[in-house]
Amino acid sequence: MSAGWLRACALVILGLFSVSALAKDKTAIVIGGGLSGLTAAYELQNKGWQVTLLEAKPSLGGRSGMATSEWIGNDKTQPVLNKYVSTFKLGTTPAPEFVRTPSYLIDGVYYSAADLAIKDPTTAEALKRYEKTVDDLARSIEDPQNPAANNTLHALDQINVSNWLDRLTLPATARQLINQQIRTRYDEPSRLSLLYFAQQSRVYLGVSDRDLRASRLLGGSPVLAQAFVKQLKTIKTSSPVSAIVQDKDGVTVKVGSVNYQADYVVVAVPLRALNKISLTPALDAQHLGAIKGTNYGWRDQIMLKFKTPVWESKARMSGEIYSNTGLGMLWVEPALKGGANVVINLSGDNARVMQAFGDKQMADQVLIRLHAFYPQARGSFTGYEIRRYSTDPSMGGAYLAFGPGQISKYWRLWERPLQRVAFAGEHTDTLYPGTLEGALRTGQRAASQVEDLAAGKSFEPAKVVPVAAAAAAGAVAAKKGNFFTNLFGGGDDEKKPEPVKAPAPVAPAAPTPAPVPTPAPAPVETPKPAAPVKAEPAKKAPVKKPAAKTEAKKAPAKAPAKKAEPAKKPAAKPAATTETKAQ
Ligand SMILES: Cc1cc2nc3c(=O)[nH]c(=O)nc-3n(C[C@H](O)[C@H](O)[C@H](O)COP(=O)(O)OP(=O)(O)OC[C@H]3O[C@@H](n4cnc5c(N)ncnc54)[C@H](O)[C@@H]3O)c2cc1C
């Protein structure tokens, strides 16, 4: 064999070795075990990365799914979610027709949409008028990925939704129901940017409620988290990350005194939680401002359990019931273990006010209100569960809800990786923030960005809200002349709007203004607790742990689960450890 031939063979072998060494060295850490982090970890692992997922809490799944109550969209409206549902072969049950449209609880009386049209046509008509105006507003946005495409639209970011609603002069009941719907889906109208509301309305324009509430995962959305957990090889629960240090060779992630090292990191925690993680090199002023200032909607959930349904039978299993009183949005759901459950969603400033109450007081307050409408409530009450997303330091809110002026400052900020760190989480999705779909999409996006970074791609700084020439604004405004003229207070349909200066009087909301009462004083907003329910005191049922946790404990990973090494080893490079499933 010639020396040249031998040298060639040696080079080939060396080449193969270094390729496999490189493949082995592809390590990533994912911080946060909500659906976005689980998705990022799953996608990276599927692409051959050695991934360690670090979750602060003892359980996985984050904000997804309190119980069995969430309805999910079909593949037209939530394609990514549906893809995973079919990949993991998860069972679903179709939504009955009557849960697919919202209904109402007006002063304690239940109305379906059809009932309302007959029994309270004034409110029904006003709701229709409102919906048409929202559609017009939505149509003013051509590209929901770039909502502030011109000065007129940019100006909408300075207005809050409450001021805009005032101009519609709606009858009191309709306004209360609309406020309730907006604060449930986003946040208090007074804290919400009109541009964000318009952009989200554009995303869902023409999407039917039927497609959005098409089916339910058997077992609720925790089973989705559980399915990801089953696939992942290395998960560390009860591991709150305190610091991320990047240098030219890699990233060190600190959990207490334990260091983990990897080539890249996906940060999949909400902004308030990110605020507690120190980053080196430090973030710039814009990112720091976004972490502290971006508005999150408030929505807490109280599940009241009863021996038998105490509400009208036709309200049973309705999708969303908007109450015009302090009961917020109710969701009657089938109780899997017998009895009957109603989930009460307190949102916006009603939830903020309830912050002062302990769990039992909060359940009592809600039960008292329900009892006023349904007199069997106290006698049939068996217990409650509460989930407070807004005061949980790992979450700090229910979901992203841009306040006035915030799209202008922070639009798409977190879509761009910073050196070796990519960001995921519902708050980083342009189209579907605040949803499971949004969380899953961002996990996929972050995983592919890590691949891109490893391949040497650099990410350009995000373009922050290009405000197009005034001419463009004029063109859009002229096209939508009536709508904008009305919006900015003019009465002349033919008059050309002045796009930039008109909305000036509306000041952006302060970061944490005092709670704003709902138009008609809602009982829940009473600062003092009412007398506790005496007949049957609330028995505190243990708060249900997301099923993902149980799964993390018992489900064997596909690769046989070796006993997890305690998360103690300093500078443990995940690739080199034998850590497997969360224990
Ligand atoms: C009340 C309510 C109702 C909802 N209803 C629906 C609905 O009907 N349909 C729908 O599609 N969506 C709904 N959503 C939204 C959906 O649940 C969320 O968008 C989604 O679950 C968010 O996932 P995520 O991964 O972005 O964040 P999260 O689920 O919050 O995950 C973040 C994870 O990071 C962890 N973490 C935080 N700090 C650290 C740290 N320092 N170190 C390690 N880990 C950390 C947290 O513990 C958490 O597990 C609802 C949300 C709420 C609050």
Kindly report, residue by residue over 265-303, the tens digit of the pLDDT.
999 999 999 999 999 999 999 999 999 999 999 999 998
Nearest CA to ligand 1 atom 26: 425
pLDDT tens digit string along 395-448? 888 999 999 999 999 999 999 999 999 999 999 999 999 999 999 999 999 999
- Buried b or exposed e, range 458-492, using 16+ CB within 10 angstroms: eeeeeeebebbeeebbbebbeebbebbbbbbebee
Average pLDDT over residues 561-579: 32
Q: What is the mean pLDDT of residues 220-241?
A: 95
Q: Which atom of ligand 1 is nearest to the CA of 392?
A: 47
Nearest atom in ligand 1 to 70's CA? 8
In ligand 1, which atom is closest to the CA atom of 35? 25
pLDDT band at 71 (very low <50, low <70, confident <90, very high): confident
The confidence band for 393, taking pLDDT boundaries of 50, 70 and 90, is confident
> How many A from CA of 307 to the centre of ligand 1?
31
Strands 243-246, 235-236: pairing is unpaired
Q: Of ligand 1's atoms, which has the minimum distance to the CA of residue 32?
A: 34
**Residue 532 pLDDT > 80:** no
**pLDDT grade, residue 334 (50/70/90)?**
low
Alpha-carbon torsion, ordered 199, 203, 207, 210, to 10 deg: -90
Choose between 336 and 466: higher pLDDT.
Answer: 336
Over the stretch 299-316, which tens digit does the pLDDT of each residue have?
A: 999 989 999 888 877 665
Say if residues 468 and 149 touch (Cβ distance below 8 Å). Answer: yes
Determine the distance separating the centroid of ligand 1 and the alpha carbon of 435, expressed in angstroms: 9
Contact 216, 93 (CB under 8 A): yes
* E strand or H helix at 8: helix 3-24
Give residues (CB < 6 A) around ligand 1.
31-37, 54-57, 62-64, 70, 240-241, 268-270, 273, 277, 299, 301, 389, 394-395, 398-399, 425-426, 434-439
Question: Which of 31, 32, 24, 30 lies closest to 50 in space, CA to CA?
Answer: 24
Tell which atom from ligand 1 comes closest to the C-alpha of 443. Answer: 25
Domains in the chain: ranges and CATH = 20-68+219-295+397-458+546-576 (3.50.50.60), 96-100+117-213+469-513 (no CATH), 299-388+515-535 (3.90.660.10)
Q: For residue 74, what are its two tokens?
A: 């079909």
- Residue closest via CA to ligand 1's atom 53 equals 398
Which residue, by CA, sits nearest to atom 8 of ligand 1? 70
**Distance from the CA of 398 to the center of ligand 1, in angstroms?**
8
* Of the candidates 31, 184, 46, 44, the residue with the CA atom closest to the CA atom of residue 104: 184
pTM for the whole structure: 0.80
pLDDT over 80 at 493, yes or no: no
Q: What CA–CA distance (Å, rounded) separates 131 from 177?
A: 12
**How many angstroms separate the alpha carbon of residue 528 from the centre of ligand 1?**
31
Q: What percent of the chain has pLDDT over 90?
A: 56
